[in-house]
Amino acid sequence: MNSNRSELRWGVEQRLEFIEFRLFWEGHVNRSDVMAQFGLSVNQASADLSRYIGLAPHNMDYDRSLRTYVRQPGFKPVFDKLDAGRYLAQLRSVADGILDQDDCWIAGLPDYDSAPTPARGVDPSTLRSVVDAIRQSRAIEVQYQSLSNPEPQWRWIAPHAIAFDGFRWHARAFCLSDEVFKDFLLSRILDIRSSRESNIPAEHDRDWHASATLEIGPHPALSETQAKVIELDYGMRGGKAKIKIRRALLYYSLRRLGLDTDPAARKPQDQQIVLLNREAILGRQEQAEEQ
């Protein structure tokens, strides 16, 4: 089966993934679904359904009364992309207006919505210039509005990556003014006026290339029943879960999880989780800030 998959072209494999996605989540798929999603002819869609049957002959069968292929009890996925995260990501993308409903692979969209987050105004030209600088290993001169200065300032930065902190997008870059690697919010880059070659290796950004592992567990003041609920929420095993992150994103991750303050400052039912290796993680963070 794996050898057959390795011979598939990318476009064909994507269509077969779509067939499997529909089978798993909707319970059925037909030729018109494939035709509508990818703009295929009848013959092309039929060929894709036949290819999928060749890969997984026991996953679906044609129901003549319903005139569609239906999922079989012995269904076993061929592709490794049938996870809840991918399904929910599509729902959220539609809710946020990032993905048109017609482009979504989910046929029967459930009633859904998401808590709104403030819009972060990233200019497309700014993003393009930052991405170009990353690809070409160049430094760019940006007009940046920071919180520490009332007026925006021009400075040279050498970006090498883009990061998302859960709410905002950053350019990870070497600041030639401060001579240190740091984060620059894309929404605060007001203008870019020039670029030049950069000789700052991205490998020198130690915090970007190093990782830290957070060990979290239920708040010790929760009841046994409450603790079990939290363990389910975070996929904990043996009362704890491990989250591996880049050290450059440690501050944002701690803040997003509510682990950046003393757990005693909030009610256990509000705090819910605590950092089990707090001394090791926060101790390293303080050392990094002092350097």
H or E segment and range at residue 85: helix 84-95
Q: Which of 217, 265, 267, 222 is nearest to 238 (CA)?
A: 217
H or E segment and range at residue 213: strand 211-218
> Comparing 199-208, 209-218, 277-286, which segment has the lowest mean pLDDT?
277-286
Tokens at residue 40, please?
């295929």
> Comparing 17-31, 185-199, 275-289, which segment has the lowest mean pLDDT?
275-289
Q: What is the pLDDT of residues 239-284, one digit of tens each?
A: 999 999 999 999 999 999 999 888 888 999 999 999 999 888 987 6
Supply the pTM of this predicted model: 0.77
Distance of CA 110 to CAs 82, 90, 135, 258, Å?
18, 12, 40, 30
pLDDT, position 3: 44
DSSP code for 27: S
Distance of CA 174 to CAs 18, 147, 177, 184, 194, Å?
41, 19, 9, 10, 16
Sheet holding 68-71, edge to edge: 28-29, 68-71, 60-63
**Structural domains of the chain, ranges and CATH numbers in brackets:** 2-82 (1.10.10.10), 124-204 (2.30.30), 210-290 (no CATH)
pLDDT at 167 over 90: no
pLDDT at 7 over 60: no
pLDDT at 22 over 80: yes
Q: Are 185 and 152 in contact, with CB atoms under 8 Å apart?
A: no
pLDDT, position 291: 37
Tokens at residue 220, please?
């010790």
- pLDDT bin (cut points 50, 70, 90) of residue 119 is low
Q: What is the pLDDT of residues 55-103, one digit of tens each?
A: 999 999 999 999 999 999 999 999 877 888 889 999 988 887 888 888 8
Residue 179 Ramachandran class (φ > 0 left, ψ -120 to 50 alpha, else beta): left
pLDDT, position 166: 86
